[in-house]
Structure 1
């Protein structure tokens, strides 16, 4: 297989609207946390991680997920124009990881339909189809290569990068615009509440006080090619637990398959990984599984963190946002901080969580990033500084 390079990327989340703002938040003494309170259908409340600024309006765009996608595209428009000119539109492909698309925009029209018997004439059912965001990406950019959606819950954004690498290795495309985008929706927030999985306050991954997630919004897009670039996607591994619809296999056996496959594909030894970007949802079962897995493979001293204490859980965008944060960490040589209440759960296997503004104890060259999802979907990515 050929080397796969990341030639450009864009990102936005609770941490910031672009790379510069995201970096500033990650390196601050007190990074932002999910802090907007929303009321749930059952009467309780939770915190969500909303973008810190308004998105620009885009003519004809009817969903926030597509609005987010257009904004992320605008951050690397010059690079996108470059690959279109170099390869031709039929050799450029797209892969988007998402879970919400336009489901939020369907809630009020559905209520009107229930109350009045008629649909709002402006409502388009296709807005909430899972393929809508990929279709929008293709139309908005204007490429003619294949384009599809990956929707495997919380592994979607990471899987989009792995799928893009397979496109390139198979010769299906010469450049792939890929990543993950998700926006806030009352449906998903209340759905996780129905599973007793949301936290009333800012979430606390790996804390003894952890009780659930905060939903967030945002996304990250990447241009992947075989052309030499600044960053390299050296490894990826995927597996399925086939254990439970919403709970991870407790020992992390399935997740370990994904991590080991990523290491093998990257020809990377365990000791060569400099930082582990954990999934870290702040749910009791996920954190227990993941700390067990990390301790078993990497030991108790490897620097690691979950960034969901800042971004919230952005669902289909989570793995893509992690990948963008990893690139910032490689470029600027810092550990992404683990932000929580500081009260470690002594019942968990020991791992070494980073702190805000903690200086690396060695040069950061290789980062492993993990995502785990409902249905037992697991993926690990390894991103390295090219030529490091």
Structure 2
């Protein structure tokens, strides 16, 4: 990384509500947006993080071909916190062909495909209303946002399971460093669907209660949905506000390919991603004031990540760490972007989020887990982890830079 990129705008819409205001309130109070699963026709004893208001969202008439739950959530999230206007302002500054778009998702608009398969005719043909290219296709997400904003620069979707939208930050930095863009809109959108709910249930990974990351008695994850975005600009091209700014200081990526769905037991890939992120940021483990854990609340994930973090932070063993998935649920392809926004809020407001749901810390996880929200006015650097199926790992370092 030649120079840190400034997050000139960011937003997240989760089960806690639309935009960062309800999210920040939950971070300060340790609140959860999880509820018993009543999504669609799912008959699973689990809890989910469902975003309110998606069904009432309407796409612009000229983009109606993109209509699906995922794109309604994408639009709802874009319009929060004035982010869409901030993006349009950046496009006006840099040009439609100089703003990149990199978004992450895991299942995109697959809910539409699920509905279409229910309506197959006697010959198995899908209904005429279903358009795979503009709904289920993972590339449809970036196509929709690109067309909505009138972008003409590099635009693509990353789909590497739960690391997708964290990797979007790294990809955007590479595009800007290569001179292919002057700014980038990054983020992730993933919406609830039956494939995800039943898929994780079949793997025996869903919890019958709200997920409890880091808890000795955790029983699995809670699936959520979310839309989160950030606008990245070079420091010399970003608008000046006279206040402290949040920057993407470093990132790291790895692929340990240990197993299709299980993490490496010693966190080998996680360690590599974290070490790269610190090195790229020019920081040591002692410089990090908080670690936002991937922390899915499955037995294997929390143990593996705990081992990896403990190894990387051996000289800073008491660094505060927590998983925020007890608040939002695991938002899969959107998780990296959601937790980057949470990290930015933690830096901006000087706070340490709690690992909501944890009651009895697992003694096998050798980390300083934050059990309740705490003030941290001196917080300067945060590391955020996102680890996906197949060993696709990403870590981001976000930092607070004081105004000159």
TM-score by length of 1: 0.95
Aligned residue pairs total: 385
Unaligned runs of at least 5 residues, structure 1: none
Residue of structure 1 equivalent to 2:369: 353
Residue of structure 2 equivalent to 1:100: 107
Counterpart Cα distance in 2 of 1:78 and 1:238: 31
Matched, 1:277 2:282: no
Aligned-partner SS, 1:106: helix
Residue of structure 2 equivalent to 1:133: 141
Residue of structure 2 equivalent to 1:37: 37
Counterpart Cα distance in 2 of 1:186 and 1:345: 31
Counterpart Cα distance in 2 of 1:308 and 1:93: 29
2:178 to 154, 170, 179: 170
Counterpart Cα distance in 2 of 1:241 and 1:273: 24
Q: Deviations over 1:156-191 (max 9, x none)?
A: 010001101111100111111111110000111101
Deviates more, 1:106-115 or 1:314-323: 106-115
Matched, 1:65 2:81: no
Counterpart Cα distance in 2 of 1:129 and 1:279: 26
Aligned-partner SS, 1:324: helix
Aligned-partner SS, 1:383: strand
The question of whether the paired residues in 2 share the 8 Å contact of 1:40 and 1:190 is answered with: no
Q: Deviations over 1:57-100 (max 9, x none)?
A: 22324111111211222231221121111111011110110011
Alpha-carbon distance change, 355 to 119 in structure 1, aligned in 2, over 3 angstroms: same
Counterpart Cα distance in 2 of 1:265 and 1:117: 52
The question of whether the paired residues in 1 share the 8 Å contact of 2:15 and 2:50 is answered with: yes
Deviates more, 1:350-359 or 1:155-164: 350-359
Deviation at 1:53, TM superposition (A): 4.0
Q: Deviations over 1:139-159 (max 9, x none)?
A: 011010010010000000100
The question of whether the paired residues in 1 share the 8 Å contact of 2:104 and 2:164 is answered with: yes
Aligned-partner SS, 1:157: helix
Q: Deviations over 1:219-240 (max 9, x none)?
A: 2111111135521101100111
Residue of structure 2 equivalent to 1:331: 348
Residue of structure 2 equivalent to 1:113: 120
TM-score by length of 2: 0.91
Residue of structure 2 equivalent to 1:375: 390
Alpha-carbon distance change, 84 to 318 in structure 1, aligned in 2, over 3 angstroms: same
Counterpart Cα distance in 2 of 1:278 and 1:65: 25
Residue of structure 2 equivalent to 1:49: 49
The question of whether the paired residues in 1 share the 8 Å contact of 2:214 and 2:369 is answered with: no
Residue of structure 1 equivalent to 2:267: 252
Deviation at 1:16, TM superposition (A): 2.2
Q: Deviations over 1:304-356 (max 9, x none)?
A: 0000111101000001000001111111111111111412222x132111133
